[in-house]
Structure 1
Amino acid sequence: MSKLLSILFILIIGVQTVHQGLIYAYYTINKEYIIQNFCKNKAAPQLKCDGKCHLKKVLSISKKETAPQELPLPNLEKIKAPLLYYQAIPNPFIEVVDVVPIPTVRSTFYPYVLAYAYQLVIAIFHPPQYYS
């Protein structure tokens, strides 16, 4: 049952995604029928409408149906913030202590430390010599 339901949802989403393509496919398949029965410009063949007027009308209807409807925004002047009251409740177990700031000495001298070293070895290493 769940497989059938998931396949049904996939088909519905797929048709919704390609519905305009389906309208174009229907137009190209049934072009002669649409020209004979629905075309407004049958009397003027020099316009070469070929039923595109009907296609445009059907596509505009489908766009209106699938267009997301905008929700009205609430008027912020009518909305009032709730009043909140606060009262400090004394707690006998907590003692309030005045905080005294501790003076700190700030140093503005930052000595530059050269952490880069390059050692150039010029002498060629010789193995130890054995003198007899």
Structure 2
Amino acid sequence: MLRIYSIAFTLLYLLAMLKPVLPVFDYVVNHDYIAEYLCINKDRPEMHCDGKCYLMQMLEEENQQKKQNLPAIDLREYPIGFVSFLSLENTGYSIIPEKKTTLYFNKYSFLASYKYFHPPSLS
């Protein structure tokens, strides 16, 4: 059941993210129809508009709807001037003692012997 909820919320999120792109997708899918019937500049073919004017009009309407849906926030209603920050001076004294440790371990050893090792003989 939890998987179904997660898939549903993911799809709703993707739908909300794709909403601003829907006019462009509609323009790409219905390009011929928009250029033929819905283009505003049909009487001026030298502009080679091909329905882009209609696309710009749809994007402008989308922006207007977005601006209308946003609530107006007056910052005077939410003052934050009463917040004061505590300032501390650095005295150089630490409560926690410093522990000086190194991560370097010298595990190298050298045996100064010039005799060559030979395996034991059977005789």
TM-score normalised by structure 2 residue count = 0.50
Task: Specify whether residues 7 and 59 from structure 1 end up closer, same or farther in structure 2 by C-alpha distance, changes over 3 A only.
Answer: same
Counterpart of 1:28 in structure 2 is 28
Amino acid at match of 1:20: P
Unmatched runs of 5 consecutive residues or more in structure 1: 77-132
The equivalent position to 2:72 in structure 1, one of 59, 64, 70, is: 70
Counterpart of 1:41 in structure 2 is 41
Counterpart of 1:54 in structure 2 is 54
CA RMSD of aligned residues (A): 2.3
Give the number of equivalent residue pairs.
76
How far did residue 74 of structure 1 move? Answer: 4.4
Q: How does 1:1-132 map to 2 (within 5 A)?
A: 1-67=1-67, 68-74=70-76
SS in structure 2 at match of 1:69: coil
Amino acid at match of 1:72: D
Amino acid at match of 1:71: I
C-alpha distance in structure 2 between counterparts of 1:7 and 1:69, whole Å: 30
Amino acid at match of 1:29: V
Unmatched runs of 5 consecutive residues or more in structure 2: 79-123
How far did residue 75 of structure 1 move? Answer: 6.1
TM-score normalised by structure 1 residue count = 0.47
Taking only the aligned residue pairs, the percentage that are identical comes to 29
* CA deviations over 1:61-119 (Å, ceiling 9, x no partner): 2223334433234469xxxxxxxxxxxxxxxxxxxxxxxxxxxxxxxxxxxxxxxxxxx
* CA deviations over 1:30-76 (Å, ceiling 9, x no partner): 11111222111111111111111111111112223334433234469
Structure number with greater Rg is: 1
C-alpha distance in structure 2 between counterparts of 1:15 and 1:28, whole Å: 18
